[in-house]
């Protein structure tokens, strides 16, 4: 199980932490935020692109592929209510890779854990929790 705690500080800016690492999410100034971090939607795209890049680097290292660098640009076209969202990953592979290696890496790109999480069926449950110090 994964566990992340997100906390506001009186504004739209939030900090998300796993107890070790922390990241800031915010809304742009034009939307009432401070513009100090990625929006929640952008954070989802960053998670998908980051996971894809890491998966490709790990796979390449294990297979001995000469992959130097990976760049992933992720775009999202939100679907209408009840319709699928369209995520597109533009993957740039840098290195002296042959065509078979490039083809295999593009197949692997769709297998990162975040990709699988997003494409799977999801259920959501919201549970009211007591504030800290409440009796």
Residue extents of the structural domains in the chain: 1-37, 40-119
Residue environment code for 17-53, b if the CB has 16+ CB neighbours within 10 A, otherwise e:
eeeeeeeebbbeeeeebeeebbbeeeebbebbbebbb
Give the rounded percent of residues in the chain with a pLDDT score beyond 90: 83
- pTM score over 0.85: yes
Average pLDDT in the 122-130 region? 88
Distance CA 96, CA 104 (A): 14
Distance CA 25, CA 13 (A): 6
Question: Is the per-residue pLDDT at 23 higher than 70?
Answer: yes
Give the rounded percent of residues in the chain with a pLDDT score beyond 70: 98
Homologous superfamily, domain 40-119? K homology (KH) domain (3.30.300.20)
Average pLDDT in the 1-13 region? 92
């Amino acid at each position: 199980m994964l566990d992340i705690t997100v906390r506001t500080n009186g504004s739209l800016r939030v900090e998300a932490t796993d107890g070790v690492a922390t990241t800031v999410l915010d809304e742009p100034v034009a939307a009432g935020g401070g513009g100090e971090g990625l929006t929640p939607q952008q954070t989802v795209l960053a998670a998908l692109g980051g996971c894809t890049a890491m998966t490709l680097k790990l796979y390449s290292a294990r297979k001995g592929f000469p992959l130097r660098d990976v760049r992933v640009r992720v775009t999202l076209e939100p679907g209408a209510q009840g319709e699928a969202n369209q995520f597109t990953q533009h993957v740039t592979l840098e290195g002296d890779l042959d065509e078979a290696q490039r083809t295999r890496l593009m197949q692997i790109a769709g297998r990162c854990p975040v990709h699988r999480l997003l494409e799977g069926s999801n259920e959501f449950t919201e549970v009211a929790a007591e504030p800290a110090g409440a009796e």
